[in-house]
């Protein structure tokens, strides 16, 4: 009986952890949305670039950082063009029903 209770407790703890990890709509870390990378630079520079804290916008409760004031202003005009599909999570994992962090350099 004790093993059953321990097993149930561990299972509930795991489910609680998983549900809390996957609550954010946008992939974000302490560095900001999309790990602090400038989402506009993927289109304007054709490469990943880290954003700078002096060029910040807040959208969906997350801080988005940009490589330049121009990229920040571009984002503010049409954020829906630049917010990553699936909130920046891995598309393959999302197609399987759960969220997994992504690599902004990929």
pLDDT tens sequence across 53-88: 999 999 988 999 999 999 999 999 999 999 887 677
**Domain residues for 84?**
24-106
2 belongs to a structural domain: no
58 belongs to a structural domain: yes
Q: Domain tally for the chain?
A: 1
5 belongs to a structural domain: no
Burial 76-86 (b: 16+ CB within 10 A, else e): eeeeeebbbeb
17 belongs to a structural domain: no
Is the overall model pTM greater than 0.75, yes or no? no
18 belongs to a structural domain: no
49 belongs to a structural domain: yes
52 belongs to a structural domain: yes
CA end-to-end span of the chain, whole Å? 48
pLDDT tens sequence across 35-53: 999 999 999 999 999 999 9
67 belongs to a structural domain: yes
């Amino acid at each position: 009986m004790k093993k059953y209770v321990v097993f149930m407790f561990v299972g509930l703890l795991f489910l609680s952890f998983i549900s809390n990890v996957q609550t954010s709509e946008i992939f974000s870390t302490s560095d900001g949305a999309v790990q602090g990378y400038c989402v506009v630079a993927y289109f304007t520079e054709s490469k990943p670039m880290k954003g700078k804290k002096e060029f910040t916008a807040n959208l969906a409760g997350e801080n988005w950082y940009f490589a330049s004031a121009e990229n920040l202003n571009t984002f503010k005009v049409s954020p829906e063009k630049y917010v990553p599909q699936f909130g920046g999570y891995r598309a393959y994992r999302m197609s399987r029903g759960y969220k997994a962090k992504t690599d902004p350099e990929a």
